[in-house]
Structure 1
């Protein structure tokens, strides 16, 4: 087959320009949605300010005692109708074992914060590409919970009228609840729906189960929200349905993260694309054919550790 040549009237071949690919447009919105390596000073400041704001708003919600007690009565009747109103039995059974209920009081007071912060630190160090989106899911979960506190004030079981629930913190003189004892004036006592103990523990559990590589650690991730559910009921701080509210808030939080980043947080790249970690010009971590080996050449000091499972961020 011969090649056909097209000539112009003066005998010269027309110049055929090479196609030039236009550089991708990266606006402010696109930059904000792209996974990036977090800065530790900014994250500490953000988490501190966010929790202070959350506590301020939560405690500023008017304590509508009458409505909160009426809502508690309605929840209790609804659970009887569903056949799941066993909180009082669980509360009394666990309260009969002193060492167990005291341990649960301290569990309720501490692990809610300790485990959540621990998972954030682990994400920051080991999964920087997924950190921002996963943190966004947690923040959105907490934010929508504030709406629930305002629109649906709810008394915890231990504060219900004519009930036989045991306030385990008061009885055993522990500090297992911000809404009991000397700390009750520092916290809104009628913000039981939704339960952020469940919302945050589910967030921790799902994150650990999905991203951890050690099998027994993944199992612990699943057990953590289950144990938290038992604790919030045994200490008479929440109804079962409060836990459902917390799970719904978490669903909202992950939906926000998915809409913003175009993928669920756990599907984003573990390491943020960027320059190589080695100084100068060279190969990041070597070349290989396995799924965990990295192939890439970088210049200067940067943030990534070579090409990981998925180097490019998910498309939005």
Structure 2
């Protein structure tokens, strides 16, 4: 009788007189409870709706409270605005005033941008969070961490670098489009100006949040038109924040830097960028949420027998330590 060479899961070669497939089992690894808990926290899990709603509500309340509690420091904010404007002129990229006046000459366009500035910043961001929650639960926590850490580091920027928006510059020729057209396109203009810190222009979270939305949609959406819209959204947002004189373009760069920090923190915690994590997460019954398991066909007559205790595997089972038999 010919010998069967078997390769075990450790990679060692052995000789077996029986022409069967051998499945090696390894002892389960036990970690210290603290390490096991840490691994659990860093593993993707299905989000809970009530917790996410509460977390978002409390987080935004704290963000608004801290942002508006930062001393406005008007003199420093105006001085910083003058420095930003001078720097952009030195670079030959001080185009905000031109865009502001050009778009303002088209009434329907600038009014639309005022409302865009006031609404889509929240509507699209919440919409992307809901979409992630429903369609990509395994990636939700990591992507949400990007958004939250981006916003948190922005608060540090508001405190350390107060900055007046272009429409509030001394001696500037920018048009406050909200005041002129009597719309409610900004919480920092008109009747709402006392409700928000007007000198928190750097970094721009309109860019930070819109770019987070755009990159998330581009990375995870399957429809080409959705991916294109994902890239267009932060681009149009940049035009809006400049046209309405609410931000310098360098404020947008600050928002991008904050977002880069958010992605770096999420990758460090989860070990991967959000879009590379599993789309679905295990449920309590050992199945993957939203994944349909397909049983593979049974082997036909004449196929090698399986070892006792091994049955046909399903398409979603992880690859085990099963070894293959090879006859000479």
TM-score range, shorter chain: 0.7 to 0.9
| Pair 1:120–1:19, CA change in 2 (3 A) | closer
Structure 1: unaligned runs, 5 residues or longer: 3-17, 290-294, 298-305, 312-316
Aligned counterparts of 1:64 and 1:160: Cα–Cα separation in 2: 14
| Pair 1:288–1:258, CA change in 2 (3 A) | farther
C-alpha displacement at 1:22, in angstroms? 3.5
Q: Report which of the two structures shows the higher radius of gyration computed on alpha carbons.
A: 2
C-alpha displacement at 1:20, in angstroms? 5.1
Whether 1:216 aligns to 2:228 is no
2:58 to 49, 66, 73: 49
Q: Deviations over 1:126-178 (max 9, x none)?
A: 00000000000000000000000000000000000000000000000000000
Aligned counterparts of 1:196 and 1:121: Cα–Cα separation in 2: 20
Q: Please say if residues 276 and 284 of structure 1, whose CA atoms lie closer than 8 Å, have aligned partners that are also in contact.
A: no
| Pair 1:83–1:260, CA change in 2 (3 A) | same
1:29 to 35, 38, 53: 38
C-alpha displacement at 1:107, in angstroms? 0.0
- Paired residues, what number? 278
Aligned counterparts of 1:96 and 1:181: Cα–Cα separation in 2: 20
Aligned partner of residue 170 in structure 1, secondary structure: helix
Residue in 2 that maps onto 1:11: none
Q: Please say if residues 294 and 316 of structure 2, whose CA atoms lie closer than 8 Å, have aligned partners that are also in contact.
A: no
| Pair 1:271–1:169, CA change in 2 (3 A) | same
1:146 to 148, 151, 155: 155
Residue in 2 that maps onto 1:286: 294
Aligned counterparts of 1:213 and 1:91: Cα–Cα separation in 2: 36
Question: 4+ residue stretches of structure 1 with deviation over 6 A?
Answer: none
Q: Please say if residues 194 and 242 of structure 1, whose CA atoms lie closer than 8 Å, have aligned partners that are also in contact.
A: yes
Whether 1:132 aligns to 2:136 is no
Backbone CA RMSD of aligned residues: 2.4
Aligned counterparts of 2:195 and 2:27: Cα–Cα separation in 1: 60
Aligned counterparts of 2:227 and 2:25: Cα–Cα separation in 1: 50
Residue in 1 that maps onto 2:6: none
Structure number with the bigger relative contact order (C-alpha 8 A, sep ≥ 6) is 2
Aligned counterparts of 1:179 and 1:20: Cα–Cα separation in 2: 62
Structure 2: unaligned runs, 5 residues or longer: 4-23, 298-311, 320-328
C-alpha displacement at 1:28, in angstroms? 1.6
Residue in 1 that maps onto 2:17: none
1:103 to 92, 97, 112: 112
| Pair 1:42–1:63, CA change in 2 (3 A) | same
Aligned counterparts of 1:248 and 1:112: Cα–Cα separation in 2: 18
Aligned counterparts of 1:277 and 1:264: Cα–Cα separation in 2: 24
TM-score calculated relative to the size of structure 1 = 0.83
C-alpha displacement at 1:276, in angstroms? 5.5
